[in-house]
Structure 1
Amino acid sequence: MSAPPFRLNASGLATLQAATSAGALGFDLELCCDSSGHTLTEHTPQTRTKLHQLDPHLHCSVIGTCLHPNDLRKLMLRHGATEQMSDLDVHHLAVHMAMERGDASKAIQKALDQKHAGALKQFSAAKDERALETAWRAAWSHGDIAGGYWALLTHKAVTSTLLQLAYGEVHMLSHLMASANRDDLKRFVALEKENSSLRERLERRQARHEEVLRERDQVLTQEQARILHLEARVSQMQETTASRGSEASASELVALHTTRREKAERAAEKAWQEVQRLQEHAAKVELHMNDLAEELHAAEHELQRLSANAAQDGALRSQQKTLQDRTILYVGGRPSSTPSIRDFVQQRGGEFLHHDGGLETRKALLTALLPRAHLVVFPVDCVDHDSVTNLKRLCERHMVPFMPLRTASLASFARSLQREADTRVVPRPSHFCLRHG
């Protein structure tokens, strides 16, 4: 920022010179020339500049950058009735009080010194403008912008050039952060909606799973009761047969017991088949529930990452480019979820290619897009069978790994990419014949 708002014009030179001679600014600001045209020189103060001695135009950026709104509100409660005030009103009140040489200004000065004591200690080693600029660059690269900004503005060796440089960089950083936060907020709201939907679906699946388990247990209990009843009847009939003894022939008894045993075996076999069917159904429900749980975990992980990234600068975000230099080809899908998946890939440094499977885009273009991709993904619920067969054949031909998705949702895509990153399976040699299939 070549002309920050605190740079004075020619009409204010007399006032600035009077304030400088009285020591009101804490340091002598270097000016181009005085009213007579003679060049003014810069004098280094002997102590750090106080908060009320800073140019009034700097108070807004200092308090907004170097103090958290919650800390500022707690601090201003001691100097005014701020319970019903908004964060903006509390900020304006603090800026106004910082200009005055009073208890509020001293309290804010003390809070800033305590919060950024480490940065003040590091900057205290700087003795000239070059060393001070080096310390500012080091604080910027390490992400300690708030502490470095406060330490730089109040340093006794700071110059007007460094003031303009730091003010401009902090000012532009606020614009960049606001723009990035708007994009993150959109994705955050979309993920919250999808997270809520996945939670509801998971709860319904769990309730259905518990109901199936109860039905299975009920059937098993009934069949066990029937078996016990049959065993009791067999025992009773054996006792009756033994008491009758000579009244029935041995062949009749054998035939009767054989018939009853066969009936009991058929009933037990039917019950066992029903138990196996219920167990298979329960296993399928459990697998589906695990898939939903993994998708929910991936959505929650993305929400946590976005919340954490909202408080970080661009240097830290660049470390999360998990798809850097990778191209993802997405075939099929829904028009409502494809833009979110594109943003998800591009945010992580990857290149996103899309083909709708032949609805509006010619299927022949898939042959040209596939060699550029490092990974091919397609949702099995939003792509036709012929496109899947053709896609697998092309992936086998070009040795490009492919990954089917359970659904076309962003959560399913994020969970599959996370699983692919954890396993990173090397594609096996193809056994597909290009001539005979």
Structure 2
Amino acid sequence: MCDKHDPLAAIIAAAMPQVAGTLAPASTAPARPAEQQVLKPAITSVMAALRPQEDTHASRRRRLWELGHACHCPLVGVGFPLGVLRKLVDKVTSGEVLADDYEVHVGAVTECGSRNRLSEALQKELERRYAAVLLRFRAAKSTAQVAAMWNTAVANGDVAGAFWAGLTHPRCNAELEEQMCRDLHMVQHQAGACVRADINKFNATLADNARLTHDLSKAQQRAAALLADKSADAEKHAAQLMQQRAQAVGKDSMIDSLKAELEQLRESIPGLESRAKLAERLVQMEERERAMRNQITELKLELAKLQTAAEPAPIQEETRQLVEHVMRMPLSLSDRAVLCVGGRSGNVATYRELIEREGAQFAHHDGGLEDNANRLDASLAAADLVICQTGCISHSAYWRVKDYCKRTGKRCVFIDNPSISSLARGLGQAGAE
């Protein structure tokens, strides 16, 4: 049965009635001259009908089933991945083909010899898959240009689309078709050699991959163990932190409650502030009392020495030497203001007599025992020389005097013992500096 899409079959079918009418009487004898005269116009009309079809065929691209059978096997092999080919075969057969890859390939190559559902599906897939290459080959206007584009594709290693575009090009003749099949055959051989060479590399890569996978697994196990330890430590530290925060909150709450309780106690005890001042004053009075007792003890000792002395002359001589020692001090006190901070109240008069005898102005501050501590700064500012009795002075007054003299550069004489002789020695050392 003739294919309605085959132009040659259609032409022969149209010419057959004329030939059949002429050859109606069946005969096995050779055609007579009269019969030859009848057949000649029919054959001529058939050939004339075929000539325009050949011209038309030469101006359009060939279809898959119009190619030579030798082209179908390499074209199906390089033009379709096995998965795509099997999918097309399953779609055409409306089921799942159970044959292996080789059988599917052989069956597809066989079906490409004629126009059918599978060959049309393969034709459509080739047109879609290699549309860009077909567009590029369309610019070729001669067989030489098609051959040049094919050689370029072979050199670049991209032969699948170029093979289809070159075979179906209108300017592809039999010689170029054969050359393309040869070139593709050699490319496939080279590709197979490369695949065999790559298999060894692939196997080595697989071995390396297995080793690295094993090492990675061990590293992941170690990392997981370390992560578990770190997570446990983090949880432990978080629990400790929460505990410390709770303790801190508890301490803050206790401090607040104690402060509130303290305020309540202060409010419940009338005159607490005055009592605190009185207690501080009592401590100061006790220190002053202790100093006075020490002074009384020293005076008693001096009195005992005076009573045991046979003549009063040595006492007067000692006092005279002390006065002369003060008079011989290199430190000039004339017309200067001298401030004495601290000391025994019983020795203040003697201090004043010794200082004023040198022509200086004498001022005294008890160091915060009875005098106001705020007056100490004014007294320090008015003095030219400061005498600090460290043994009979409060701590705040001592540090205030020391800091003020250090900041202003004012000379200060520090005396440990509040006796008159210690004062004289201190002034002598200050004058020698």
TM-score range, shorter chain: 0.3 to 0.5
TM-score, structure 2 normalization: 0.39
**Which structure exhibits the higher relative contact order, with contacts defined as CA atoms closer than 8 Å and separated by 6 or more residues?**
1
Structure with a larger share of its residues in helix: 2
- So what's the TM-score if we normalise by structure 1? 0.39
